[in-house]
């Protein structure tokens, strides 16, 4: 059983690391804040003071941090993974970052004999805790095969999608759809509400036909009750839409709709709602139309 390093014990990372412990892996952990490190240590993980130290102790290092610059710092910083890595190390980055950045980091790590897999996830904290995440993997296929057991401890749908960046690009495609669907659903719900319809009935009717989607089934009922706590934070969705923009630019793909969706999320953040659920984009459309989407009594 491989010895694993784990860097980034946030809302997602902590339960993922716990699942690795449960699966019997030997774990060395590091995170910016002390609390979750102690929590994992109490469960049997070894605490390390830096990514360098984590890398020195592991055959596989997992990172899950906020954005591209964080991954770059953790990988290539003075006290970073490369500073401690032995040739042959596999680095699985499970953050959602730009595939362009992923490929740049992979290139640098390759010089040091380290193999980078990009493996962003979807499924939220619920999926992280239950070990049912979807994991989208890009990079060297042999390295992917070698890490199957590790992925299986954290997720359920584990898909190999191609060379370095392929996992991140797939995640970008996913975010185009999840954000876009929320936005078009919001326009529909706001039209329903301002027209005097009962949005709850409209949701029910629409969910029964070609408009059927996860957002209508899971999130629309919460919107009607004004339950907008995350789930997945709007600020992260906005960050991801900027990754989409960078990716689309790099690949030469015009995305006129996603461009507008991103500006709506920018408006949501200006409104100070970045910590609400991504579905709270509905409040931007509500503000434009001067109406609130609520179930009628």
Site for a second copy in 249-288 (CB under 8 A): 249, 251-264, 266-267, 269-271, 285, 287-288
Among 28, 50, 98, 169, binds a second copy (CB under 8 A): 169
Contact track, a second copy, 100-129, x by CB under 8 A: ----------------------xxx-----
Helix (H, G, I), strand (E, B) or coil at 70: helix
Dihedral sign, Cα of residue 166, residue 172, residue 174, residue 177: negative
Q: In this structure, what token pair is assigned to residue 116?
A: 């980078």
DSSP 134-152: EEEEES-HHHHHHTHHHHH
Is residue 157 a contact point for a second copy (CB under 8 A)? yes
Strands 3-7 and 26-30: parallel
To the nearest whole angstrom, how small is the minimum distance from the Cβ of residue 274 to a second copy?
10
Q: Which CB, 85 or 192, lies closer to a second copy?
A: 192
Among 85, 213, 223, 293, binds a second copy (CB under 8 A): 213
145 burial (CB, 10 Å; 0-12 / 13-18 / 19+) is: exposed
Is residue 89 a contact point for a second copy (CB under 8 A)? no
To the nearest whole angstrom, how small is the minimum distance from the Cβ of residue 8 to a second copy?
21
CA dist., res. 218 & res. 126, Å (int): 14
Q: Which CB, 76 or 255, lies closer to a second copy?
A: 255
CB 26 within 8 A of CB 49: no
Q: Which CB, 142 or 214, lies closer to a second copy?
A: 214
Dihedral sign, Cα of residue 183, residue 189, residue 192, residue 196: negative
Q: In this structure, what token pair is assigned to residue 27?
A: 């774990």
CA dist., res. 219 & res. 41, Å (int): 36
Site for a second copy in 126-155 (CB under 8 A): 134, 136
Catalytic residue among 14, 18, 171, 233: 171
Q: Which CB, 76 or 267, lies closer to a second copy?
A: 267
Is residue 43 a contact point for a second copy (CB under 8 A)? no
Dihedral sign, Cα of residue 141, residue 252, residue 69, residue 276: negative
For the chain, the C-alpha Rg in angstroms (whole number) is: 20
To the nearest whole angstrom, how small is the minimum distance from the Cβ of residue 208 to a second copy?
5
Among 92, 119, 206, 224, binds a second copy (CB under 8 A): 206
Contact track, a second copy, 172-201, x by CB under 8 A: xxx-xxx-xx-xxx-xxxxxx-xxxxx--x
CB 15 within 8 A of CB 26: no
Q: Which CB, 142 or 288, lies closer to a second copy?
A: 288
Active site residue 171: yes
Residues with a known catalytic role: 171
């Amino acid at each position: 059983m491989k010895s694993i390093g784990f860097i980034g014990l946030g809302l997602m990372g902590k339960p993922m690391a716990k699942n690795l412990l449960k699966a019997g892996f030997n774990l060395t952990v590091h995170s910016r804040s002390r609390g979750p490190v102690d929590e994992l240590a109490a469960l049997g993980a070894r605490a390390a003071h830096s990514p360098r130290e984590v890398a020195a102790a592991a055959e596989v290092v997992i990172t899950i941090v906020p954005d591209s610059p964080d991954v770059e710092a953790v990988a290539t910083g003075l006290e970073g993974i490369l500073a401690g890595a032995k040739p042959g190390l596999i680095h699985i980055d499970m953050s959602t970052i730009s595939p362009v950045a992923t490929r740049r980091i992979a290139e640098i790590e390759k010089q040091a004999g380290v193999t980078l897999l990009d493996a962003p996830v979807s499924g939220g904290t619920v999926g992280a805790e239950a070990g049912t995440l979807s994991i989208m993997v890009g990079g060297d296929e042999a390295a992917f095969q070698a890490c199957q057991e590790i992925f299986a401890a954290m997720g359920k749908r584990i898909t190999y999608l191609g060379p370095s960046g392929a996992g991140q690009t797939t995640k970008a495609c996913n975010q185009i759809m999840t954000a876009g669907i929320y936005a078009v659903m919001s326009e529909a719900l706001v039209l329903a509400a301002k027209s005097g319809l009962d949005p709850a009935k409209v949701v029910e009717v629409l969910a029964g036909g070609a408009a059927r989607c996860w957002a209508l089934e899971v999130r629309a009922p919460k919107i009607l009750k004004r339950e907008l706590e995350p789930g997945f934070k709007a600020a992260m969705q906005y960050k991801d839409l900027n990754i989409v923009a960078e990716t689309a630019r790099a690949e030469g793909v015009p995305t006129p709709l996603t461009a507008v969706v991103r500006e709506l999320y920018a408006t949501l953040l200006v409104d100070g709602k970045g910590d609400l659920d991504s579905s709270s984009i509905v409040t931007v459309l509500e503000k434009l139309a001067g109406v609130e989407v609520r179930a009628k009594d």
